[in-house]
Amino acid sequence: MTDLKNKNAVVTGGTRGIGKAISLGLAESGAHVYALYARDRKNAEAFEDEAKQRGLKITTIRGDLAHDETFRESVDQVNKACETIDILVHSAASGVHKKAMDLTDRHMHWTFEINYFVIHKLTRELIGKMKQGGRIIGVTSPGGTHVIPYYTAVGASKGALESLFRHYAREFAPEGIIVNLVCPGMVMTDAIKAFPGIQERASETEEYTPTGKLTVPEQVAALILFLCSDPASQIVGQTIVIDGGKGLPA
C-alpha cells in the first residue's frame, strides 16, 4: 500500500464519481485530501461526514473554478490550509454532448474552460507549493484520441489536455515533480449516465471488452495511488489506459 502519511493532496471534482474514489483512496493511504467541488454542498457535507466516520482526513472546498471570483476563493482556501502540496489530481470535467456542427462557440468555450484552461490556471497557481517528489495527475478519456459520437467538444478538450500534460512532464521532471495522465474506459458514474444512449453503449462496451467488465472508480483510484508511489517515479509523461483491454486493436 502506498504510504501518503503527512502528504497533502488536492483533487478537483473530488466529491463525486471517479474524483470521490480518488479522494477516498488518497485519504485511506494517509493523505490529507482537499476535495474541490463546484455546487452540490449537500453532497459534499455527506461526503465529509462519511470521511469523519471512517477516520479519514478529507476537507471539501466549494468553488466553481470556471468563474474568477470563486476560483480565487478556492485557491485562497487551499493556500491557507496547505503550506505545501504533494499531489494534485485534476479529475473535474464537464462538456456539451452534441454533433460537431451543432456545437456553438459558447458550447466549445465552456467545455474548454472546464477541461483545459481551468486546469492550467490552477496548476499555475499551485505549482509553487510543490516540491521534489510531487505528483500531478490528470484524468483524460478515450475521446482524446478516438472518435466517439456526440463527444466532439469533450474529446477535443481532452486531446488538448494530453498535449499540455506532456509539456508539463518535460518541464517539471527536472524539478522532481512527476506528471502523468490516466485514461479510464467507460466508468458508470452519475455524470456519464446522462450521456445519450448510455445504457446501450454500456452493454456494447462490456461485450467488446476482453475482461467483460466495465472499469469502476476504485480501480482508477488504485492506479493513481500507484503513480503517487516511489516505484512509479520513472513513469513520466505517460497516458495510462485502464479499460479492461477495450482499446486494443481488433
Q: Which residues are tagged catalytic? A: 151, 158
- Residue 71: all three cell numbers together: 476560483
Instruction: Indicate if the alpha-carbon torsion angle 2, 15, 83, 89 is positive or negative.
Output: positive
Tell me how far apart the alpha carbons of residues 168 and 122 are, in angstroms, rounded to a whole number: 13
183 - beta bridge partners?
A: 241
Tell me how far apart the alpha carbons of residues 68 and 33 are, in angstroms, rounded to a whole number: 23
Tell me how far apart the alpha carbons of residues 224 and 51 are, in angstroms, rounded to a whole number: 19
Contact call for residues 79 and 127 (beta carbons, < 8 A): no
How many C-beta atoms surround the C-beta of residue 57 within 10 A? 15
Q: What is the 8-class DSSP label of residue 86?
A: S
Tell me how far apart the alpha carbons of residues 131 and 178 are, in angstroms, rounded to a whole number: 10
Give, for 160, the enclosing helix (H) or strand (E): helix 152-172
Residues near 162 by beta carbon (within 8 Å), at least 6 away in sequence: 138, 140, 144, 145, 181, 239
Tell me, what amino acid is at 90?
Answer: H
